Amino acid sequence: MTESRPAHGKAISIEEYRELLPNMRSVTESNEVASVLTADDYFKVVNKPDTRPAFWKFADVRATLDRLAEEPLREAERRFCTTVNADTGELVGATPFIFIGWQLIHPGEEVPPHRHNSVAIYHILEGSGYTAVQEAGSTWTKYHWEKGDTLACPAWAYHAHYAEGDADTLMYVVQDMPMMAVSRTLFWEEPLGQENIRHMVTGTSPSWSVTRTKDDVDA
């Protein structure tokens, strides 16, 4: 599980594939990751300790948001934090499969268009504005929200958020990202229009990998 293994790459052509085929490495034995466990050994490791309840007072979330509010909204990134139950371990969720995010948007700001195949449910806690969503791959719609409204954005639908008015917008965001990430089925496109910069599993975009710049990706 080293971090140095490469991310899934770009699509290749059938011609490129035909060139690769005769020169591939051949494996005729069980390979290095193929283990065989007896029942006794398996039940010891598949067995997960229970997670304890997790309780977040809003003041602690607000403190983190206040800190983020001082920072610029980086190009392809959101000003948000997430509340994680430490007992979920590798899954890093509020529960094993569910992500809870708190997204702050200053009036006049845009959270740029992007998409992912985790779903996203936005509940508006404070503020007003709209979200532009591409519907099933064709037409786009602006959903105008205010406090109390909820918008469910389907998997892989482009979306962007726009805060309006005088006060900050605060969204309570629900996703199934932990389930998607741990099953290695997660896709991410951001910034929009760079389809090959897809952050499945290990990302290659500035926003997702957070340690890379767009120049790194373009290189």
Residues 68-107 that bind its own copies (CB under 8 A): 68, 77-87, 89-92, 94-100
> Binding to its own copies by residue 129, rule CB under 8 A?
no
Among 107, 201, 214, 217, binds its own copies (CB under 8 A): 201
Rounded distance between C-alpha atoms, residue 171 and residue 26, angstroms = 51
> Binding to its own copies by residue 133, rule CB under 8 A?
yes
Shortest spacing between CB 106 and its own copies, in angstroms? 16
Binding mask 27-66 for its own copies (x = CB under 8 A): xxxxxxxxxxxxxx-xxxxxxxxxxxxxxxxxxxxx-x--
Shortest spacing between CB 75 and its own copies, in angstroms? 11
Residues whose CB is less than 8 angstroms from the CB of residue 117 and which lie 6 or more positions away in sequence, other chains included: 155, 156, 180, 185, 186, 187
Coil vs helix vs strand at 178: helix
b/e 133-142 (16+ beta carbons within 10 angstroms → b): bbeeeeeeee
Q: Rank residues 62 and 217 by Cβ distance to its own copies and give the closer one.
A: 62
Q: Rank residues 109 and 194 by Cβ distance to its own copies and give the closer one.
A: 194
As a whole number of angstroms, the longest Cα–Cα distance in the chain is 66
Tokens read off for 13? 């052509």
Q: Got the DSSP string for 114-160?
A: EEESS-EEEEEEE-EEEEEEE-TTS-EEEEEEETT-EEEEPTT--EE
Count of positions on this chain that bind its own copies (CB under 8 A) = 147
Q: Rank residues 153 and 163 by Cβ distance to its own copies and give the closer one.
A: 153
Rounded to the nearest angstrom, the gap between the alpha carbon of residue 192 and the centroid of all alpha carbons in its chain is 14
> Binding to its own copies by residue 155, rule CB under 8 A?
yes
> Binding to its own copies by residue 173, rule CB under 8 A?
no
> Binding to its own copies by residue 219, rule CB under 8 A?
no
Shortest spacing between CB 111 and its own copies, in angstroms? 11
Among 111, 128, 158, 171, binds its own copies (CB under 8 A): 158
> Binding to its own copies by residue 166, rule CB under 8 A?
no
Which phi-psi region, left, alpha or beta, contains residue 129 (left: φ > 0; alpha: ψ -120 to 50)?
A: left
Among 135, 165, 213, 216, binds its own copies (CB under 8 A): 135
Rounded distance between C-alpha atoms, residue 61 and residue 81, angstroms = 8
